[in-house]
Structure 1
């Protein structure tokens, strides 16, 4: 019976080697799948997971904006800081500090997340609040929002009420102040 024990030992050894090789192959496959799936994660989905937390947003034309992330919508987010609020156009965001390590898939977002940057700006226009519209090139227009078009916002500036049209493609952030 010595040769049978030796044969079973060889077969057990081969089986363990096969399991180890499968485990290595499976680990590599899982890592590849993880990388492939993560490429589907968007900045907005990471921000949705960060709602309610304090973050810092580096925004082209506006600098570092810090505060509590209140809401994220399609192409924008609402940030509340001490004495001011920001509507930030996501294409102008260069970096995010202190975001959640998690992500929320778009299908799990609240219905209000489907609102566009235009919807958020219409709320400010309806309120008649004084604000500063900052553009990605560093420009600033101080006034009140008048009307919001499909791809631009009207800003009434100065005492004469001069009207400036700001294209959404140039928009970085809109700062409103608590009064």
Structure 2
């Protein structure tokens, strides 16, 4: 009788051990599955998705040719973002010119652009600036810059009427009109005008 009880206990321990091993394998498989699904989801995440999670946050954008643009991230679109610095100066940054971005939250969700937002490309933002007739500093990806007013926005370029620092655009003050390919555009920042 005692031998049967010992055998039963051994079998119980053996089955308990097998169940624990099976549970450990199941936990490891689920953890591996979760990790793989996480990698797949992160693989679908675009930089613009990460930036959307930072709306209203202070960010630092290192831009090819435009230096560093730091401030509150106000708008995020596929082709451009809008940043407002401490002095409320706004800058449109072409997303194609981004080298690095800091200040993003740890987690972000994949976003779906709305119909209206998907239509608001870089050209639309630049047309709004052109309509405003604001003096701007245009920074290019080759590290050069021009000050002037955006006169026209075409299919793949803008025309910038260059004029003196601190002046509004007047025909007599225009020194040159430059055609700037959109692919060369890094940052467009509202210029500080002289008092």
Taking structure 1 as the reference length, the TM-score comes to 0.91
Match runs of 1:68-147 below 5 Å: 68-81=72-85, 82-107=87-112, 109=113, 113-114=117-118, 115-147=120-152
Q: Is the CA contact (8 Å cut-off) linking 2:83 and 2:92 kept in structure 1? A: yes
Q: Is the CA contact (8 Å cut-off) linking 2:147 and 2:191 kept in structure 1? A: no
Q: Is the CA contact (8 Å cut-off) linking 2:51 and 2:76 kept in structure 1? A: yes
2:158 equivalent among 150, 153, 156? 153
Q: By how many angstroms is 1:5 displaced?
A: 3.3
Q: How many residues are aligned here? A: 178
**1:148-178 superposed Cα distances (whole Å, 9 cap, x missing partner):** 1121111111223522111111110101146
* 1:66 maps to 2:70: yes
Taking structure 2 as the reference length, the TM-score comes to 0.84
Bigger Rg, structure 1 or 2: 2
Q: Is the CA contact (8 Å cut-off) linking 2:66 and 2:187 kept in structure 1? A: yes
Cα RMSD of the aligned pairs, angstroms, is 1.7
Distance, in Å, in 2 between the alignment partners of 1:162 and 1:177 is 18
Which is strand-richer, 1 or 2? Answer: 1
Tell me which residue corresponds to 1:164.
178
Q: By how many angstroms is 1:111 displaced?
A: 5.3
**1:75-101 superposed Cα distances (whole Å, 9 cap, x missing partner):** 110001124210000111111111122
Further displaced range: 4-13 or 52-61: 4-13
Q: By how many angstroms is 1:32 displaced?
A: 2.0
SS in 2 for 1:106: coil
Task: Flag the 1:166–1:40 CA change in 2: closer, same or farther, 3 A.
Answer: same
SS in 1 for 2:178: strand
